[in-house]
Amino acid sequence: MPASPETLIGWDIGGAHLKAARLRTDGRVEGVWQEACPLWRGLDYLHAALDRILQQIPAVAWHAVTMTGEMADLFANRTAGVHTLVDLLRQRLGNEYLRFYAGAESWFDADAAKLNTEPIASANWHATAAMAAKHLGEALLVDIGSTTCDIIPLSGHAVATHSASDSDRLASGELVYSGVVRTPVMALASEAPVAGRWTPLMAEHFATSADLYRLLGWLPETADQHDSADAGPKTVAASQIRLARMVGRDAEQLTPAAWRELAAWLADAQLDRIVRACRQVLSRVLPAADAPLVMAGVGSFLGPRLAARLGRPLLNFAQLLPPGSDTERSDWCAPAVAVGWLLAERVAGKGS
């Protein structure tokens, strides 16, 4: 490999966010960034997000890239998405120190990535799992983000799944399309208890999961980087209004405590779905009873509740980082941190 710069940047190119992590070659994390990037609206949003981050990093660095943004409906298909994103990143980041994560197939340069799109597409979960597996050997990794939840078993210091696509992962319970910010409330349940009666939810994009966790006081500050369902304010009062619409009411018809109770019921419904998927995964790979649950993602705040349901000790992804690392938001941007860490291992001659 070429002579190494001292800095590595891990990139996770998502359909809704651009995430980046700056690392040293010894794996220490020096900073983490998350920028809103609604890729479905056009590539200009990715360019703008890159601009904001590139202002804060060295001109010469290794760049380790993983992605899920190729699935955005901006692209005709996933192959076209990978090709477009690879070309754009080569233009913006240069070619010599640019590498794309290909899961178990290791790393490709830009030319090879365009010839081998399948292992490049949507491999960010594998990067996080591969890093966690090297540290822990045996665990259940759960990354709950703004939109999705990844559930990955780890065994024998390896990623213990044969899933090779999002389709496989959906069927195996390893990918649950439910997150703590952008998920429409109508996707969480068909009905809910309201004022003592079971009330069907309206099949309308009136409210999102961010509204639930805002009402409960659990949503981390700055976690919600996209427009609300009605493009209105991101306040408790506005979230009550949006949630009330889901059950055909106005917010003033019930008390704030009643809306919090409804939010809590719907949050439980979401957690039930995640627990069900975890049990499906655990039924195939049976880790030791003391193997931990490792939480990542902006939804890491659900870790204590999920660990209690699964009866497992709890770790956060940031606890795996080398001493001296900047751990703020590292859980939120775990794939970006992980892909940078894995390339650092390779550059240092420690990895495959």
Closest CA to 25 of 1, 49, 54: 1
Cβ atoms of residues 10 and 31 within 8 Å: no
64 domain-assigned = yes
| CA–CA distance, 207 with 241 (Å, rounded to integer) | 9
3-state helix, strand, coil in the chain (%, to 5): 45, 20, 35
Amino acid 58: pLDDT: 86
173 domain-assigned = no
Same domain, 22 and 115: yes
193 domain-assigned = yes
Beta bridge partners of 9: 22, 63
Helical (H) or strand (E) element with 238: helix 236-246
Residue 352, pLDDT > 80, answer no
Residue 197, pLDDT > 60, answer yes
Closest CA to 185 of 274, 249, 265: 265
Residue 138, pLDDT > 50, answer yes
304 domain-assigned = no
Handedness of CA 169, 71, 129, 156 (dihedral sign): positive
Residue 1, pLDDT > 60, answer no
| CA–CA distance, 53 with 169 (Å, rounded to integer) | 31
pLDDT, tens digit (0-9, with 9 covering 90-100), for 153-193: 999 999 999 898 899 999 999 999 999 999 999 999 999 99
Same domain, 40 and 120: yes
276 domain-assigned = no
- Number of domains comprising the chain: 2
Residue 139, pLDDT > 70, answer yes
At 44, is the pLDDT very low, low, confident or very high (cuts 50, 70, 90)? very high
Same domain, 257 and 325: no
Same domain, 333 and 255: no
Beta bridge partners of 8: 23, 62
Give me the DSSP letters along 200-230: EPPSS---BHHHHHHHHT-SPTT---S--TT
Residue 111, pLDDT > 60, answer yes
At 2, is the pLDDT very low, low, confident or very high (cuts 50, 70, 90)? very low
CA distances (Å), 231 to each of 13, 47, 103, 242, 276, in order? 24, 23, 37, 10, 33
| CA–CA distance, 162 with 40 (Å, rounded to integer) | 30
Q: What is the CATH number of the domain that holds 63?
A: 3.30.420.40
Amino acid 3: pLDDT: 53
The SS3 of residue 185 is helix
132 domain-assigned = no
Mean predicted confidence (pLDDT) in 340-345: 94
Same domain, 22 and 91: yes
Q: What is the CATH number of the domain that holds 215?
A: 3.30.420.190
Of all residues in the chain, the percent with pLDDT exceeding 70 is 98
293 domain-assigned = no
Beta bridge partners of 23: 8, 29
297 domain-assigned = no
At 5, is the pLDDT very low, low, confident or very high (cuts 50, 70, 90)? confident
Same domain, 52 and 119: yes
Same domain, 267 and 324: no
Q: How many CB atoms neighbour CB 196 within 10 A? A: 6
Mean pLDDT of the chain: 95
Same domain, 331 and 240: no
Range of the domain at 194: 185-271
Same domain, 115 and 195: no
pLDDT, tens digit (0-9, with 9 covering 90-100), for 260-311: 999 999 999 999 999 999 999 999 998 888 999 999 999 999 999 999 999 9
Same domain, 11 and 88: yes
Beta bridge partners of 115: none
Amino acid 351: pLDDT: 59
Same domain, 111 and 18: yes
At 348, is the pLDDT very low, low, confident or very high (cuts 50, 70, 90)? confident
Same domain, 267 and 322: no
| CA–CA distance, 205 with 138 (Å, rounded to integer) | 39
CA distances (Å), 301 to each of 51, 63, 144, 262, in order? 30, 30, 9, 19
Mean predicted confidence (pLDDT) in 133-146: 95
